[in-house]
Amino acid sequence: MVPGYVYVLVNPSMPGLIKIGRTLRDARTRARELSSTGVPTPFQVAFELFAEQHEALEAKVHLALTDFRVDAAREFFRYPLDKAIALLLDLAEPSQSPAAQYVAEDVTQRLREKYPAYLRSDIAAVRIVQMPGRVWLEITTEEERAGYLVDQIVRRTDLAFIADTDEPFFRPKDEVRLNSEKLVSDYDTYSIVTTTDLFHDEACRHIEREHHAERRHLACR
């Protein structure tokens, strides 16, 4: 069997539904193809995992979720996203442990909901991507050109330089779900400003002013 990706897609126009499929290419390419089939809103890659036997892995996931399948002829399931990701990881081959595989989790919507006034408008997607020994913050930006073309720029930043005491804050040995949760829930706005390119310039200046004002206030106490 050839290696490939097993992915989980979501679509804002299909609340409560997820699509679990496989591809030999990048899952986002597949999502763009599906988005051009007449659905009102684009599909988003919520999670993807590289597997040496991706066909068998997809089949195992589909079998486990048989009772939640909307249509036997289609790959849509009415099942919680977080549980689907956990199932996919659990059913992966033993060698495909979270510390020994390519995994990626999309956090775009969660960041947009938490920072609606701060996130850059040209950002199309934000993901935490992990491979053995590495945790990357992946930011995809889009720029229109010539009125009908859309260029995408994908940039991955190795997060190993961000330390919490004596070890990285985003640890490669942790599951991608934990590192995604750290970015969204535990990482403060000033740290985001100083270590990432997620926020627009005006937001960065505002956060820096508030941070320095708070430090001056604490120093005067």
**DSSP string for 57-84:** HHHHHHHHTGGGBS-TTS-EE-S-HHHH
Q: Which pTM does this prediction carry?
A: 0.75
Q: Are residues 122 and 80 in the same domain?
A: no
User: What are phi and psi for residue 85, nearest 5 degrees?
Assistant: -65, -45
In this prediction, residue 99 carries a pLDDT of 45
Q: Are residues 85 and 10 in the same domain?
A: yes
pLDDT digit of tens for each residue in the chain (221 aa)? Answer: 678 889 999 998 899 999 999 998 778 778 888 877 677 888 888 998 888 889 999 999 999 999 999 998 899 999 999 999 999 988 986 555 444 578 899 999 899 999 999 999 999 889 999 988 999 999 999 888 888 888 889 899 999 999 977 889 999 999 899 999 999 999 999 999 999 999 999 999 999 999 988 887 777 76
Q: Are residues 91 and 32 in the same domain?
A: yes
Cα 102-15-60 angle, rounded to 5 deg: 40
d(CA 204, CA 56): 46
Q: Are residues 86 and 118 in the same domain?
A: no
- Which among 96, 120, 143 is the end of a domain? 96
